[in-house]
Amino acid sequence: MGIFPRLGLTVIVGALAAGSDIAQAQDGVTIYGVVDAGIRYGQGLDSANNGSAASSTTLNSGINTTSRLGFRGSEDIGGGLKAIFNLESGINVDTGAMANSTKQFDRASWVGLQGEWGALTLGRQTTLLADVVSAVDPLGSRYAGFNPNIGTAALSAHRLSGEYGPAGATTGAYRLDNALKYVGRYGDFSLRAMHALGEQSASESKLSSSGVGAGFQSGGYNAAAAYTEFKNVNGLTLKGYVGGVGAMFGKAKLSITYGSHEAQITATASTRNKTLGIGGTTPLTGNLDLVAAYYRVERNRSGSPEDGFDRLIAFLEYKISRRTLAYIELDHTRWKNGYQGAGFKANGSGASAGIKHVF
């Protein structure tokens, strides 16, 4: 990132921090964030958790929860309406660098209106598939860079080698630029709709995206589902859906999810991924929780044998205080039919230990 983007963020942070007391009293502006870092050892995994023939030891950011800095707020503008906004940047705590060198606010950059009818927001924001995963993922969206529900089902790392929808990246489509999103709540139910403009000359559809979703929450039960269609710059489609349910059993929560998407890679070739997830959270003591999940990913590509992987991820989390916790993470991955790459081990295991602070 160049000096001007860094200077811009510094000025914004300084200005909001200097006026935070007044802003919070009048307009409800909040500065928030997560700072998460830990030591990780991987066997059969490289520093980015891809398949490897060797081992690695690294200090990583965002193992438990992605590190970030954000600003959000609202203003009552009368008539039952509020103006709302959110700006959020990913941060690599291990290096101090921004997570995305090309986008100042890579995680969120939107403004909108909210009323009894719901909320309408405009800007860069998460897709409806990502919203479903946030609601029902067995890990509660932990370990975003290694979580198959986030990477595969919600397309954060889709491995399709092309930009689908206005994601601003060829590696994933978890968030989209130029997007309009509606969220309405009706008692225990919610409805969502989203459209992202491709902004391609002489074409209204290329690189665009549209989707719908619904949710339910009552007592200790919740459910969510969404469908979204993305197009690339050539008009080829990526169609995906994700659904899941969650239920409380005493103080423990169990969640089950299923996602599937199919992408046109060329006019005659396609790739389909299916993702199953099951797991949840159970308290072991007043301050100690166990969070564990099993995921299965199956991939079918034109002209290639089916491959994929099975993955187990578990966290032990100890609450040091209301905002700070220490964690230990263990995982094991078994790849099928060479999904990890030629010459790499068929199994990979990892262990992490870190600390997370929320402000």
The string of pLDDT tens digits covering residues 38-62 is 999 999 999 999 999 999 999 999 9
pLDDT per residue as tens digits for the range 229-244: 999 999 999 999 999 9
pLDDT of 19:
42
Judge whether residue 13 has pLDDT over 80: no
pLDDT digits over 77-123, tens only?
999 999 999 999 999 999 999 999 999 999 999 999 999 999 999 99
| pLDDT tens figures, 306-352 | 999 999 999 999 999 999 999 999 999 999 999 999 999 999 999 99
Taking 50 as the threshold, does the pLDDT of residue 260 lie above it?
yes
**pTM for the complete prediction?**
0.91
- Lowest-confidence pick of 1-5, 35-39, 155-159, 213-217: 1-5
Degrees, nearest 5: CA angle 178-61-278: 75
Strand partners, 179: 123, 196
Burial (CB < 10 A; 0-12, 13-18, 19+), residue 14, is: exposed
The pLDDT, as a whole number, for residue 195 is: 98
The answer to whether residues 292 and 317 touch, using CB atoms and an 8 Å cutoff, is no
Residue 3 pLDDT > 60, yes or no?
Answer: no
Nearest Cα neighbor of 39 from 70, 61, 66, 68 is: 61
Q: Is residue 250 predicted with pLDDT exceeding 50?
A: yes
Determine the pLDDT at residue 49: 93
How much is the pLDDT for 64?
Answer: 98
Counting residues of the chain whose pLDDT is more than 70, the rounded percentage is 93
Average pLDDT rounded to a whole number, residues 147-153: 98
pLDDT of 264 over the 50 cut = yes
Which of 9-18, 279-288, 310-319 shows the lowest per-residue confidence on average (mean pLDDT)?
A: 9-18
- 351 and 40 in contact (C-beta within 8 Å)? yes
Evaluate if residue 169 carries a pLDDT over 50.
yes
* Average pLDDT score over the chain: 93
What is the pLDDT at residue 22? 36
Q: What is the pLDDT at residue 130? A: 98
Tell me the mean pLDDT in the region 282-290.
Answer: 97
H or E stretch at 132: helix 128-136
pLDDT band for 172, please (50, 70, 90 cuts).
very high
Which residues, in sequence order, are CB contacts of 282 under 8 Å at separation 6+? Answer: 251, 252, 253, 289, 290
Q: Residue 8 pLDDT more than 90?
A: no
- Report whether 129 contacts 196 (CB < 8 A): no
